[in-house]
Amino acid sequence: MSNLKYIAKRLLYSIFILLGVSLIIYFLIRLMPVDFIQDKINAINQGGATVSEETVTAMYEMYGLGDNSFMGIMKGYFNWLVALAHFDLGTSFVHGIPVAQVIVEHMGVSFAIALIATVFEFMIAIPLGITAATHQYSLRDYVVTILVMIGISLPSFFFGNILKDLFALKLGWFPASGLVNATVSNSGFGLILDYLHHMFIPVLTIVILSIGPRMRMTRANMLEVMNSDYIRTARAKGLQERVVINKHAFRNTLIPLVTSLAGLLPSLFSGAIITEQVFNLPGIGNIALDAMNRGDIPFIMGYNMFLALLSVLGVLLADLMYGLVDPRVKLE
Amino acid sequence: MAEKTNKGYLTGKEIRAITKANAKEMKRLEAYKNRKAEESEFLSEMKDPKNILEIEDLHTFFFTEQGTVKAVNGVSYDVPKNSVVGVVGESGCGKSVTSMSVMRLIQGPAGQIVDGSIRFNAYDYKRNEKGEPIPKAGGKEGEFEMEEKIYDIAKMPIHEIHRIRGKQIAMIFQEPMTSLNPVFTIGEQLDEVTLIHVPGATKELAKAKSEEMLRLVGIIPENVYNAFPHELSGGMRQRVMIAMALAAEPRLIIADEPTTALDVTIQAQILDLLQDIKTKIDGSILLITHDLGVIAEMADYVVVMYAGKVIEKGTVFEIFQDPKHPYTIGLQKSKPTMTLDDSTELYNIPGNVPNPINMPDHCYFKERCAKCTAKCSGDYPGMIQVSPTHFVACHLYDEENENG
Amino acid sequence: MEELKNEEVQSKIVDTEEPLDKNIKLMSPTRMVVRRFFRSRLSIVGLIMVVGLFLFSFVGPLLVADTTADYSDDTKWGEIELDESGKTEYATATATYTVDGVEYTVRQTTEKYLKDNLRATPSKEHLLGTDNEGYDVFVRLMYGGRISLIVSFIAVFLITIIGVVMGGIAGYFGGAIDNVIMRVCDILMCLPGVPILLIISTILDASDIDAKYRIYLLMIYLTFISWPGTARLVRGQILSLREQEFMVAAEAMGYSTGRKIFKHLVPNVMPQLIVQMTLSLGSMILYEATLSYLNLGVKAPYAAWGTMINIISTNEAVLQNHWYIWVPAGVCIVIAVLGFNFVGDGLRDAMDPKGRR
């Protein structure tokens, strides 16, 4: 019962936070100079037709961008909130379809890439972290630490481009951009293989960049656990060192790791803007970058709120997970 | 240079020298610890077959940046069969490090057993050529042929130590609050002991054994078997630790300040429990404490340690009724007693335990000693026998010994 | 048995010429930290990297680049000085035709005269060649370093100040103030970082701010979204410190609030704070570089490491054929971030001796 109460309380908090976040984002977006309407009118003008002053004003009104004073923006914000209450994120200016639909349509690619990358990240980072911790100060520890530190220090746009240059352009092993091979029509299994072929370098980029923090977290936790009294007890019981590490220590190291899994929620769905840009993938991050350049206010708003919601949920989920994994933790 | 402004601080040059020497020494000892060795290399013989544990000239050092800490510096004492040996001394005198050395739980690479031997009379499964235990003819399930073997624990490679830990020697730690793994239930942690030490043990057998042990320490198994450690009080956790220590029927239980972290009332209960267990098990207890009252109540033999050395040892009567070493005498006097006369001030031994880095050659207690003589500035006093069981390391008794 | 009173014993102790405690030499605390830091080879490597980059960026231009505005000196290049020496570039294209089943390959070479000396290969004159516009890459690397380092230092400095003040207030006073500050932190931490950064920089694009200075405004924004991390760290530390005995003692001594905060609490938070600052220097450099790469940070003709890589996002030929235009900038970013991370790590290990041998 108290758990439910706790969750309800946290949800209320989350709504409060999301309101604050949305207000800030909405104001920022309205201050953006990129003007979708102006672009549209320019396009019409270039086509030879002239647009009258009244039509322009009418168009601004239609898109709800007529009044750029403080009160006008506030009004626009409340309109957006009211629409949101009806589960309506508005219609994307650029795509001409509901924002929610745009997000859902492009989320798949981003999610697939992020999921594969996360699985590999955990599979590589956790054993590395444990071996570095149990062999503290050994050559192995140093090599692993240096390698992952380099990974942390690589800017994604730089490393992505290096991999692209090397594996796609120079060696030609993988396609340089996009998600499907346009010249061959594939279906079924072939299509999936084609997807994976295209995803390989982007996923590799993300994995190498993200192993570092996870590995270091594992190592630090493992070191702390290995110095605790209950590990001494486990050794005193006569357990083999292997069992001490893999059972007693690992189970405790797992607590923050599993908790951090929940914190990954936003990154699973939000798309990696830079990586998608480098490899020109039709993921949600790339779409958002495009929307920002073109002033697609409803989409930018919807996308950012989607991210904010995910990160609020991530924090909440992490807390709940913590309660689930660690028997000592009581949610209150 | 720096020495002038920072008197009492090490210079960079000195530190570099220390670090270099440490690294070499630690590397050598780590290699020795992790070596592969035949069993014959660490089999030994007892000096006195009545003993279960003989610690002889044990040196356990910690190689720190500030110098070598000689935490245990030539300690020798025995634990006879079916007895309780109490080790007393102030904090930092090396009593815990000695017991950790017996369990080989000293944290490397800084902490190392440098010299000495720890002979232990183990009662282990007799094994056939394949290394499998031989089931006892006509015995119940889980009963095997046994044999006695004497191991020198100090010479054992670290990967062989599981022969000793838990099965032969079990340990009860000072901090019951943190000594149980928080993510496993009490049952899981108790069962583990049986599962690793009884060959072919099933989960059911382990559970039955765990429940038996819990009942032995006065806990109703149903209440705690599926509980997590954090759901129990400190006293209960210490009982669980004791149950865990007993589960594999060890020949020696090391209790390292088992009551220090507990409330006074709980302390009494745990001591009663240990008393009770002492009569029930066929083994010995090595009780480490700074509390003389506990020693008086529990121990048969007493070892008094000071700054990494044994300064006096004997039977409990000898130590309490006829203490020889000025330090032991001081300890006795600093024990509060109920008297009607309020004016008597509680005695304290002046000064502090010396820092164990760069110890001098003379008696370590010299500066704090009220009976110090000219001779005390000389060499460290050797062990002097004052009765068949009573030994003291003090120059005051040199002559007595020579004359007698 | 001889009975001695405590006082007599005490007097005896004074007599003994050298008490044991006085005999021992210890390491001074500062020396201990310095020593632990330098014992780790990684910290030394990191320090060399950071110091090297500083010298490269701040002293380097004085030696090889023209720091004056007139660019009259022939042997030196400036940050925004075009190499207008001109050159002829040849481009070769091949095409394959099949006529009546026979394959013909036609190779066509076109000659083009360029006014500027673009994409020149590394030479004595241009150590790392010239870029797509004809600027000297090596010289621009130095100027780029100045921007990246200055900007990240300013941002980290501001983040620390705001973080310490806010976190300190929240942790020390607690109650409603704590609640308000922490909720603000929650909101700021929930803002999606990169997208909002993009929005802000488009807003800055529109305002008439000199390209040279807009990056500083971005840094102010970075400060704005990054201080909650530091504030939380400080608050957490102060909350746990407040419970400790020495603070209870300070309370009992009747110290003023200011004295309690600045003399007793802040010094205890310092180690973590210094480590956090060093590590954030690296992440600020990454942030700045990413923005510049997306052409939202420092804009051409001014140099920043990210800006120098930006060209490859639109020009695949440069990506493939002219590594010297973009790879050095990337390497500089990696060295800077890695250097700060190594130093930060070394400091953490040096100041927090837990789990150390």
Residue to test with chain A: of C42, C179, C183, C191, most A Cβ within 10 A: C191
Q: What is the mean pLDDT of residues C284-304?
A: 80
The pTM (predicted TM-score) of the whole model is 0.80
Binning pLDDT at 50, 70 and 90, where does residue C271 land?
confident
Q: Is residue B157 part of a domain?
A: no
Q: Could you tell me the two tokens for B275?
A: 């008393």
Determine the pLDDT at residue B86. Answer: 92
Determine the pLDDT at residue C20. Answer: 46
Chain position carrying tokens 């705690």: B224
Determine the pLDDT at residue A167. Answer: 82
Which of 1.20.810.10, 1.20.20.10, 1.10.3720.10, 1.10.10.1150 is the CATH number of A99-294?
1.10.3720.10
Interface membership of B175 toward A (CB under 8 Å):
yes
Residues of A in contact with B175 (CB under 8 A): 229
Query: How high is the mean pLDDT of chain C?
Result: 76
Backbone angles phi, psi at B193, to 5 degrees: -60, -50
What is the total residue count of chain C?
Answer: 357
Instruction: Look at residue A192 and tell me whether its pLDDT is greater than 90.
Output: no
Determine the pLDDT at residue C17. Answer: 39
Residues of A in contact with C329 (CB under 8 A): 158
Binning pLDDT at 50, 70 and 90, where does residue C357 land?
very low
Interface membership of B358 toward A (CB under 8 Å):
no
Q: What is the mean pLDDT of residues A7-17?
A: 85
Determine the pLDDT at residue A50. Answer: 67
Sign of the alpha-carbon torsion through B80, B83, B89, B95: positive
Instruction: Compute the nearest-CA separation of C52 from chain B (Å).
Output: 26
Q: What is the mean pLDDT of residues C264-292?
A: 83
Q: Is residue B75 part of a domain?
A: no
Determine the pLDDT at residue A7. Answer: 82
Lowest mean pLDDT across A238-252, B334-348, C95-109, C165-179:
B334-348
Residue to test with chain B: of A226, A230, A329, most B Cβ within 10 A: A230
Instruction: Compute the nearest-CA separation of B170 from chain C (Å).
Output: 26
Determine the pLDDT at residue C336. Answer: 92
Inspect the interface and report whether the beta carbons of B181 and A238 lie closer than 8 Å: no
Q: What is the mean pLDDT of residues A160-186?
A: 76
Inspect the interface and report whether the beta carbons of B173 and A232 lie closer than 8 Å: yes
Q: Is residue B287 part of a domain?
A: no
Question: For A250, which residue in chain B has the nearest alpha carbon?
Answer: B183
Residue to test with chain C: of B15, B16, B332, most C Cβ within 10 A: B15
Q: Could you tell me the two tokens for A294?
A: 């073109």
Q: What is the mean pLDDT of residues C192-196?
A: 78
What stretches of B163-319 adopt beta strand conformation (E)? Answer: 169-172, 252-256, 284-289, 301-306, 309-315
Determine the pLDDT at residue B254. Answer: 92
Domain count, chain B: 1
Determine the pLDDT at residue C253. Answer: 80
Contact by Cβ (8 Å): B241, B174: no
Q: Is residue B177 part of a domain?
A: no
Residues of C in contact with A311 (CB under 8 A): 189-190, 192
Inspect the interface and report whether the beta carbons of B358 and C31 lie closer than 8 Å: no
Determine the pLDDT at residue C355. Answer: 41
Determine the pLDDT at residue B400. Answer: 54
Determine the pLDDT at residue C190. Answer: 81
Task: Name the DSSP class of C264.
Answer: I
Inspect the interface and report whether the beta carbons of A236 and B105 lie closer than 8 Å: yes
B403: how many CB neighbours lie within 10 A of its CB? 6
Interface membership of C20 toward B (CB under 8 Å):
yes
Interface membership of B390 toward A (CB under 8 Å):
no
Residues of A in contact with B197 (CB under 8 A): 238
Interface membership of C337 toward A (CB under 8 Å):
yes
Sign of the alpha-carbon torsion through C313, C316, C320, C322: negative
Looking at per-residue pLDDT, the higher value among C305 and A92 belongs to C305
Determine the pLDDT at residue C288. Answer: 84
Instruction: Look at residue A183 and tell me whether its pLDDT is greater than 70.
Output: no
Determine the pLDDT at residue B340. Answer: 57
Residue C115 burial class via C-beta count within 10 angstroms: exposed 0-12, middle 13-18, buried 19 and up: exposed
Model confidence over A173-182: pLDDT tens digits? 877 777 766 6
Query: How high is the mean pLDDT of chain A?
Result: 80
Instruction: Look at residue A208 and tell me whether its pLDDT is greater than 80.
Output: yes
> Between C191, C194, C338, which is nearest A273 by CB?
C194
Model confidence over C307-354: pLDDT tens digits? 888 877 777 776 777 777 788 888 999 999 999 988 988 888 887 655
Chain position carrying tokens 């304290």: B348
Which residue ranges make up each domain of chain A?
99-294
Interface membership of A230 toward B (CB under 8 Å):
yes
Cα distances from B130 to residues A273, B127, B134, B142, C310, in angstroms, run: 61, 7, 10, 18, 68
Inspect the interface and report whether the beta carbons of C196 and A28 lie closer than 8 Å: yes
Q: What is the mean pLDDT of residues C35-52?
A: 85
Determine the pLDDT at residue C19. Answer: 45
Inspect the interface and report whether the beta carbons of B65 and C32 lie closer than 8 Å: yes
Question: For B20, which residue in chain C has the nearest alpha carbon?
Answer: C39
pLDDT above 70: percentage of residues in chain C: 76
Inspect the interface and report whether the beta carbons of B228 and A251 lie closer than 8 Å: no
Determine the pLDDT at residue B139. Answer: 67
The domain in which residue B361 lies consists of 311-403
Instruction: Compute the nearest-CA separation of B185 from chain A (Å).
Output: 9
Inspect the interface and report whether the beta carbons of B371 and C12 lie closer than 8 Å: no
Contact by Cβ (8 Å): A89, A302: yes
Residues of A in contact with B230 (CB under 8 A): 327-328
Residues of C in contact with B19 (CB under 8 A): 39
Contact by Cβ (8 Å): C313, C293: yes
Interface membership of C205 toward A (CB under 8 Å):
yes
Residues of B in contact with A248 (CB under 8 A): 181, 184
What is the total residue count of chain A?
Answer: 332
As a whole number of angstroms, the distance between CA B87 and CA B257 comes to 10
Interface membership of A12 toward C (CB under 8 Å):
no
* Residue ranges, chain B, pLDDT below 70: 1-11, 139-142, 336-346, 352-359, 399-404
> Between C6, C27, C32, which is nearest B348 by CB?
C6
Looking at per-residue pLDDT, the higher value among C232 and C313 belongs to C232
Inspect the interface and report whether the beta carbons of A236 and B103 lie closer than 8 Å: yes
